[in-house]
């Protein structure tokens, strides 16, 4: 799968290599649970999968401190590694934790049977924000599910929450909403415009069969007992990547992650329906202002790599998935910014090993949920080695 066209850059102590981490023949997703939810800017599971295979052995620890939808954590678990994963967003932590310890279909069915979906709800709230998305009976079921789940935080309820969140809005009959966008939550006003254009009104969508169908689909690849045996070793947390209190010093063999990049888009408002369902309040959501410019981002990366140096053992590696940044004045190669940062301020801790450049010839469709957006970006993967 890896096409090694080695290209040593003159004068550079490290090497650059063009690689192809996935191709047209690669399976769409390596485990069905990767398709649990469509998450903004998630990376292809083959990417962490490749580095986990290359740099670690079974039982070793893999960390992702910007875990997002938990692709690294799930790949690590499936390859028999211990996953440590965190994110500043509680929603990301919920999704990651669920992927590391999923419920099974019987547990989900029995739990759903305990819920009274017909309890009356606040119709003013429905009219104010939710009517463009849901039929009133569907919304009653969603509210009763949400209220029931908020009283429990165990593995089964967390799993049902994540599945329900993944089904809140989308463009097929499998979702709870009328035709909408799956990845981001439209505002009520935007949804009204879509409804007018498509001449649609929200129809009744029973939520229980939809949750069960999605559960069966994401669990279709099973959960091998060898993987289950590690369930209790994995760790997840809600925290800033610059302060990983849940990770012991020198405990990590490999860190593989896609950190935020300068001027990263803040999806807070565009995920409002998911946050509402998960009872996540806006102050709990990351503030991207500190990384809005290159200088602020370099400072952020400096602090993050210092903390990474504390947790990664000597000889361990840190792989950063970075992109080209297009600005009005040209293109900035972010890996070169980090190489410069490491050489100037972090050379005591990190050595630069290589840069791998993955330009997929094949624009792989993110089609777990049949979306049409493609992985068009080149991944620029900077590999650092802990001294």
Scanning 2-10, 23-31, 40-48, 276-284 for contacts with ligand SAM by CB under 6 A, the matching segment is: 40-48
Among positions 38, 56, 69, 185, the unique one binding ligand SAM when judged by CB under 6 A: 69
Rounded to whole angstroms, the Cα distance separating 164 from 129 reads: 18
Are the CB atoms for 109 and 212 separated by under 8 Å? yes
Alpha helices, H only, the chain: 46-55, 71-78, 90-100, 105-112, 123-125, 136-150, 155-166, 188-198, 207-218, 225-228, 272-277, 294-311, 334-341
- When asked if residue 297 is in the footprint of ligand SAM (CB under 6 A), the reply is no
Cβ nearer to ligand SAM, comparing 92 with 339: 92
Whichever of 42 and 157 has its CB closer to ligand SAM, that residue is: 42
- The count of C-alpha atoms lying within 13 angstroms of the C-alpha of 16, restricted to the half-sphere facing its C-beta, is 13
Query: Smaller CB distance to ligand SAM: residue 22 or 179?
Result: 22
**132/360 with CB nearer ligand SAM:** 360
Is 358 a binding residue for ligand SAM by CB under 6 A? The answer is no
Closer residue to ligand SAM in complex, CB, 130/272: 272
Question: Which 242-281 residues touch ligand SAM, going by CB under 6 A?
Answer: 258, 260
> Which residue's CB is nearer to ligand SAM, number 68 or number 182?
68
Among 79, 89, 166, 191, binds ligand SAM (CB under 6 A): 89
- Tell me whether residue 66 or residue 130 sits nearer to ligand SAM (CB atom): 66
Comparing CB distances to ligand SAM, the nearer of 34 and 386 is 34
Among 49, 286, 316, 360, binds ligand SAM (CB under 6 A): 286
Q: Does 66 engage in binding with ligand SAM (CB under 6 A)?
A: yes
How many chain residues bind ligand SAM (CB under 6 A)? 18
Q: In this structure, are strands 82-87 and 235-238 parallel, antiparallel, or unpaired?
A: parallel
Q: How far apart are CA 249 and CA 242, in angstroms?
A: 14
Beta strands 324-327; 5-7: pairing state: unpaired
Q: Exactly one of 21, 36, 39, 139 binds ligand SAM (CB under 6 A); which one?
A: 39
Q: In terms of Cα–Cα distance, which of 153, 150, 124 is closest to 136?
A: 124
Among the listed residues 136, 134, 89, 125, the one whose alpha carbon sits nearest the alpha carbon of residue 270 = 89
- Which residue among 46, 87, 141, 337 contacts ligand SAM (CB under 6 A)? 87
Torsion region of 121: left, alpha or beta (phi above 0 gives left; psi -120 to 50 gives alpha): beta
Single out the residue of 386, 349, 84 nearest to residue 241, CA to CA: 84
- Provide the b/e sequence for 321-336 (b: ≥16 CB within 10 Å): bbbebeeeeeebbbbe
Rg (C-alpha) for the chain, rounded Å, is 22
Which residue among 30, 42, 93, 157 contacts ligand SAM (CB under 6 A)? 42
Segment contacting ligand SAM (CB under 6 A): 65-73, 75-83, 203-211, 311-319?
65-73
378: CB partners within 8 A, 6+ apart: 323, 324, 357, 358, 359
For the bound state, the minimum distance from the C-beta of residue 178 to ligand SAM, rounded and expressed in Å, comes to 27
Number of other residues whose CB lies within 10 A of the CB of residue 121: 18
Please report, as residue ranges, which positions from 220 to 249 form the binding site for ligand SAM (by CB under 6 A). Answer: 240-241
Q: How many CA atoms lie within 13 A of 126 on its CB side?
A: 16
Residues 149-208, interacting with ligand SAM (CB under 6 A): none
Q: Toward ligand SAM, which CB reaches closer, 61 or 285?
A: 285
What residues line the site for ligand SAM (CB under 6 A)? Answer: 39, 41-43, 65-66, 68-69, 71, 87-89, 92, 240-241, 258, 260, 286
């Amino acid at each position: 799968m890896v096409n090694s066209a080695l290209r040593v850059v003159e004068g550079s102590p490290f090497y650059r290599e063009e690689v192809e981490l996935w191709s047209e023949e690669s399976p769409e997703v390596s485990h069905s649970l990767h398709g649990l939810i469509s998450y903004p800017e998630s990376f292809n599971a083959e990417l962490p999968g490749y580095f986990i295979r290359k740099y670690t052995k079974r039982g070793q620890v893999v960390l992702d401190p910007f875990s997002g939808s938990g692709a690294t954590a799930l790949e690590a678990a499936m390859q028999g590694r211990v996953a440590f994963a965190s994110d500043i967003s509680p929603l990301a932590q919920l999704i990651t934790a669920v992927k590391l310890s999923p419920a099974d279909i019987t547990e989900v069915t029995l739990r759903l049977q305990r819920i009274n979906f017909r309890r009356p709800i606040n119709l003013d709230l429905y009219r104010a924000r939710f009517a463009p998305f849901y039929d009133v009976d569907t919304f009653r079921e969603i509210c009763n599910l949400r209220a029931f789940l908020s009283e429990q935080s165990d593995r089964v309820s967390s799993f049902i929450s994540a599945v329900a969140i993944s089904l809140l809005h989308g463009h097929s009959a499998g979702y709870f909403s009328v035709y909408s966008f799956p990845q981001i939550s439209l505002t009520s006003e935007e949804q009204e415009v879509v409804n007018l254009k498509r001449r649609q009104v929200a129809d009744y969508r029973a939520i229980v069969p939809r949750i069960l169908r999605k559960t069966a689909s994401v669990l279709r690849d099973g959960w091998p007992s060898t993987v289950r045996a590690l369930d209790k070793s994995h760790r997840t947390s809600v925290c800033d990547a610059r302060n990983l209190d849940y990770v012991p010093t020198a405990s990590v063999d490999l860190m593989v992650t896609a950190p935020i990049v300068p001027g990263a888009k803040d999806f807070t408002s565009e995920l409002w329906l998911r946050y509402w369902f998960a009872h996540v309040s806006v102050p709990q959501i990351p503030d991207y202002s500190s990384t809005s410019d290159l200088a602020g981002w370099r400072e952020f990366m400096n602090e993050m790599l210092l903390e990474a140096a504390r947790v990664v053992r000597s000889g361990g590696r840190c792989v950063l998935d970075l992109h080209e940044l297009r600005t009005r004045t040209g293109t900035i190669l972010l890996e070169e910014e980090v190489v410069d940062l490491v050489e100037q301020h972090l050379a005591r801790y990190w050595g630069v090993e290589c840069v791998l450049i993955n330009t997929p010839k094949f624009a792989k469709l993110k089609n777990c949920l049949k979306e049409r957006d493609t992985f068009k970006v080149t991944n620029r993967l900077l590999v650092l080695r802990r001294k």
